[in-house]
Amino acid sequence: MNPEISPWRYSGAMRLRSFCGDLPLGTVRRILAGLPEARGFDVVVRPLRYREKPHLAAQTDFGERTITLQVPEPFYPFGEVVAFGAKRRAGRSIRFIWLTEGVTFRTAREVLRFLYLHEWMHWYLHVHHGRGGSAETTCDRFALLNYKRRVVTMADAEAALRRVPAEPSRPTGAVAARRRIAR
């Protein structure tokens, strides 16, 4: 934990505000129930008026202590490609392949939870590790793994910091079947 950025510095309660006609404050409170609080920050929900197609938009301002979540208005289901990690390519140079997943957001609830968890992870990294401005793939991985879950905890945030390897540790499928037959 970074001693200059103590969690006690952000000890106030989280305050919610909504400027979306379709998402009054009570609805936002119910949508975000079960998710960890960004203590000491205001969470502001605003409409996102887009020109061509809906997209994800949110921002954490550490100076003003606000998390702004923008929900597309009017809301239509839309897809987004989320990069949750990178894998090093073989060879002498340092090159990476982005690991991505396509996500379809069918409701404003899914968008709001995904955006809040992504921005909450920035808050968490800032307060507990002193590096909240970066780590986009970590924040995306955390949001991607948890936005559909009913309850999300600090342990889930720690798990997102330790990326689980893509390959299973034990053989599965045809490889495992061949090994059982060979014995």
**What's the rounded Cα separation, in Å, for the pair 108 and 37?**
20
Mean pLDDT along residues 83-105: 86
Tens of pLDDT, residue by residue over 110-158, are: 999 999 999 999 999 998 887 766 788 889 999 999 999 999 998 888 8
153 in any annotated domain: yes
Residue 128 lies in a domain: yes
Establish if 163 belongs to a structural domain.
yes
Q: What backbone phi and psi angles, to 5 degrees, belong to 182?
A: -65, -25
13 C-beta neighbours (distance < 10 Å), count: 9
Domain interval for residue 48: 7-182
Domain assignment present for 1: no
| Residue 32: inside a domain | yes
pLDDT at 10 over 70: no
pLDDT at 158: 87
Residue 24 CB contacts under 8 Å (≥ 6 apart), including other chains: 18
Domain contains 2 = no
Please compute Rg for the chain using Cα positions: 19
Is the Cβ–Cβ distance between 134 and 122 less than 8 Å? no
Whole-number Å distance between alpha carbons of 152 and 159: 11
The number of domains in the chain is 1
Q: Is residue 19 part of a domain?
A: yes
Please state, as a whole number, how many other Cβ atoms lie within 10 Å of the Cβ of residue 146: 24
| Residue at 160 is within a domain | yes
pLDDT in tens, 43-89: 999 999 998 999 999 999 999 999 999 999 999 999 999 988 888 88
Give the per-residue pLDDT at 93.
Answer: 80
In this prediction, residue 175 has a pLDDT band, given cuts at 50, 70 and 90, of low
Considering only residues 96 and 9, tell me which one the structure prediction assigns the higher pLDDT: 96
Band (174; pLDDT cuts 50, 70, 90): low
What separation, in Å, do the N-terminal and C-terminal C-alpha atoms of the chain show? 50
